[in-house]
Amino acid sequence: MLSENELWLLSFYRSSEISGALFFGKLAQSIKSGPIQHDMTKHFADESTHAWYWTQCIDRLGAKPLKLRQVYQDQYIAAAGMPANIMEVLAITQVFELRVISQYSVHSQAQGLDPVIRDTLHRIMEDEKWHIEWIRDALHEMENQHGKDLVEKTIRKFKEADREVYSHTMSEHGERIKEILYANERLVNGPK
């Protein structure tokens, strides 16, 4: 049985994956054919599938997903501004995907974690590795058009925005997240 905090976090993951799928789906429709559109279409499909994995996970654990008003990605625009071109979209996505895989990795290592959640995290992290790789390669190719310095500067800008968004998320929801990541450890090892 999921605790309130666990259900919230899994629903948060699910909502973020849905938001990513919708974003990449619209973007894949709007950009010209080529390698980026090809990979972005796969990325869109993966994000949609991840939302389904979280839906299944929550269902298998006897709950229904919560409807959340805001997702992590929404805060990026406020912190960094609207991306102006495909290079900026890929730069912010690269930073975001690195945050996602880091969060999923930490979560997957929580002691006493239900195997259904752990399996879902691991399954999604395999795709996230590819997301990071294809975007890294695309950004490298874009250095010819935009210049290496501008690409690197853009990534740094979005890393700063990511730190701000993550800090805000942790201040707003940190207790929920800490409870999940460390509560199971207390159950296994007893209070510290």
| 87-132 pLDDT per residue, tens | 999 999 999 999 999 989 989 998 889 999 999 999 999 999 999 9
Longest Cα pair distance anywhere in the chain, in angstroms? 57
Give residue limits of the domains in the chain.
Answer: 4-189
CA distances from 146 to 18, 38, 59, 67, 158 (A): 30, 21, 45, 40, 16
**Over 90: is that where the pLDDT of 86 sits?**
yes
Least confident of 16-25, 30-39, 159-168: 159-168
Is 70 exceeded by the pLDDT of residue 8? yes
What CATH homologous superfamily does 4-189 map to? Ferritin, core subunit, four-helix bundle (1.20.1260.10)
Q: How confident is the model at residue 183 (pLDDT cuts 50, 70, 90)?
A: low
User: Which of 11-15, 27-31, 181-185 is predicted least confidently?
Assistant: 181-185
Distance of alpha carbon 95 from alpha carbon 160, whole angstroms: 10
C-alpha–C-alpha distance, residues 152 and 75, integer Å: 22
Which is higher by pLDDT, 181 or 139? 139
Query: How many other C-beta atoms lie within 10 A of the C-beta of residue 123?
Result: 13
